[in-house]
């Protein structure tokens, strides 16, 4: 969609309270992201309509069904763009969702997944821009 401040961005809209997320998929067998093990996942988010949602979640999925688990991001619901940087170490520490770790492989990363909190998605609209990994 065309954002007045940013130009072309990705907009996610939830019309009902059904669970869903947006998956940014590499469309390949998996990318080797092991060089970013101590890096950062960066993204900009603009909450257009928060509905009853208070927290957004982000995670990584690998090609073999592994996942980092969901990492909470308390987005600014002001309607302004906000930049977030999530340490890969924080994502990987939450691989199984309880902070203990698990089987996520950074050598076969398939997707970055963004979602609103389950059960709080009705009427939520948010926009994403500048999703990238850095050291």
Q: Which backbone phi and psi does 16 adopt, to 5 degrees?
A: -130, 180
16-73 tens-digit pLDDT: 777 667 778 777 778 899 999 999 999 999 999 998 887 888 988 887 778 887 888 8
* Closest C-alpha among 35, 24, 56 to residue 129: 24
Integer Rg of the chain from CA: 15
Instruction: Give the span between the Cα atoms of 32 and 133, in whole angstroms.
Output: 12
pLDDT in tens, 81-99: 999 999 998 888 765 555 5
What is the structure's pLDDT at 119? Answer: 83
Q: What is the pTM of this model?
A: 0.87
Name the E strands within 19-62.
Answer: 21-25, 40-49, 56-62
- Total domains, the chain: 1
Q: Which domain holds residue 46?
A: 2-134
pLDDT of res. 68: 84
CATH number where 130 lies: 2.60.120.430
């Amino acid at each position: 969609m065309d954002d007045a401040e940013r130009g072309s961005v990705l907009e996610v809209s939830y019309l009902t309270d059904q669970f869903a997320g947006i998956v940014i998929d590499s469309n390949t067998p998996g990318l080797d992201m092991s060089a970013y093990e101590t890096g950062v996942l960066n993204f900009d988010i603009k909450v257009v309509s928060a509905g009853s949602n208070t927290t957004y979640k982000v995670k990584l999925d690998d090609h073999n069904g592994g996942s980092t688990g969901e990492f909470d991001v308390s987005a600014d619901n002001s309607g302004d763009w906000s930049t977030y940087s999530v340490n890969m170490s924080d994502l990987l520490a939450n691989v199984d969702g309880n902070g203990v770790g698990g089987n996520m492989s950074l050598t076969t990363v398939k997707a970055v997944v963004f979602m609103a909190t389950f059960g709080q998605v009705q009427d939520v609209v948010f926009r994403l821009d500048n999703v990238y990994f850095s050291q």
